[in-house]
Amino acid sequence: MNDIKVLCDQIRQIAFEIHQYLGYGHLEKVYENALAHRLRKAGLRVGQQHPIKVFDEDGTLIGDYIADLFVEDTLLIELKAASSLAQEHQAQILGYLKASRIEHGLLINFGASKFEIRKFIWNDN
């Protein structure tokens, strides 16, 4: 899938449907499994607990971190089951995008009564 906007819209709709069905109050892993399952049913490639390379500013590989979900080899998804999204959650996903050199990410919170999703784009320009 080449169009990131279409991909994000599809994921947003599926995640919203999961939130409607499951409600809030489950552990993050339950939402991760549900989202991975439904995205795969929709025909998308999904890496769950997917290792992502982390680079220093000069391009040196300095380690790995584990992404909750990595979709279509292009979109990083960080999941939360918190009462609300906090500044540190946004800093976390932006740090992941920068260090991994992945351009697009979604931060999804299933833990609040109101569904929360935010799109992030990182580029060095």
100-117 pLDDT, tens per residue? 899 999 999 999 999 999
What per-residue confidence (pLDDT) applies to 124? 75
Residue type, 93: I
Measured in whole angstroms, the distance separating CA 32 from the mean position of its chain's CA atoms is 10
55-88 pLDDT, tens per residue? 898 989 999 999 999 999 999 999 999 999 999 9
Question: Mean pLDDT over all residues of the chain?
Answer: 94
Residue 46 · residue 22 · CB < 8 Å: no
CA distance 34 to 39: 9
CATH number 3.40.50 given to 4-121: no
pTM for the complete prediction? 0.92
CA distance 124 to 54: 15
Q: How many residues does the chain have?
A: 125
The domains of the chain are located at 4-121
- Per-residue pLDDT, averaged over 22-48, amounts to 97
